[in-house]
Amino acid sequence: MKRRLVLIGLAASVLAGCGAPPPPPEAQEVTRLAAAIRGLGPDVDPEEAARAARIAYEHTHRLALEYEITDPPIVHNTKVNMGLKPRGLCWHWARDMEDRLKLEEFQTLDLHRAVANAENAFRLEHSTAIVSAKGDDFRKGIVLDPWRRGGRLTWAPVTEDRAYKWEPRNEVVARALERKHGQIVTLTDDDRILMGGLEFAAQ
């Protein structure tokens, strides 16, 4: 009984942790990401690359404050699932980052969503936003992942991200829907998900 109370107390202390929120980005971090985005292709507008990099870092910090990030990702996930924090699961980060960048209506860049570990029972499923040159496959893009380091932006070329093997988000969703409902799910050329004649909106 005493041991059980100790374990409960330790768990409570972890969940009640009150670390500092992530710091704001530094200028050199934004500059490095801007250079990487600019290097995605010869037709990428340098101004758009710089703007995308700045927004990716600034929005990461803004979301970290909105999500009340003070813990490592797994601990924060637990708090969200317990109703102790408002948002901050990986797909929250991915969707909010994609939505913010889409507002810029880039002409030389495309945005994508990807998922890793969807069918790996031993690892946590993970979602991210990806930026690529206009018209390129997501695999040629750069991962923009604020969740991985708890509100500090991690970025890397998709093919060099050794922590995760990424797949297109809608392909993963389509497979899951087929398993769940036993129906054929179609992905259209414009990346919509159709099941039974109806469109399904992925998170």
The domain segmentation of the chain, as residue ranges, is: 2-164, 168-203
Q: How far apart are CA 53 and CA 153, in angstroms?
A: 10
Q: What does the DSSP 8-state code read for residue 183?
A: S
Global pTM reads 0.84
Average pLDDT over residues 99-128: 94
Quickly list H helices, 19-89: 27-38, 46-66, 73-81
Element (H, E) at 131: strand 126-133
Q: Which amino acid is at 90?
A: C
Could you tell me which residue, 170 or 168, shows the higher pLDDT? Answer: 168
With contact defined as beta carbons under 8 Å apart, do 100 and 42 qualify?
no
Percent share of the chain, pLDDT over 70: 88
pLDDT-based confidence at residue 21 (cuts at 50, 70, 90): confident
Do 196 and 174 contact (CB within 8 A), yes or no? no
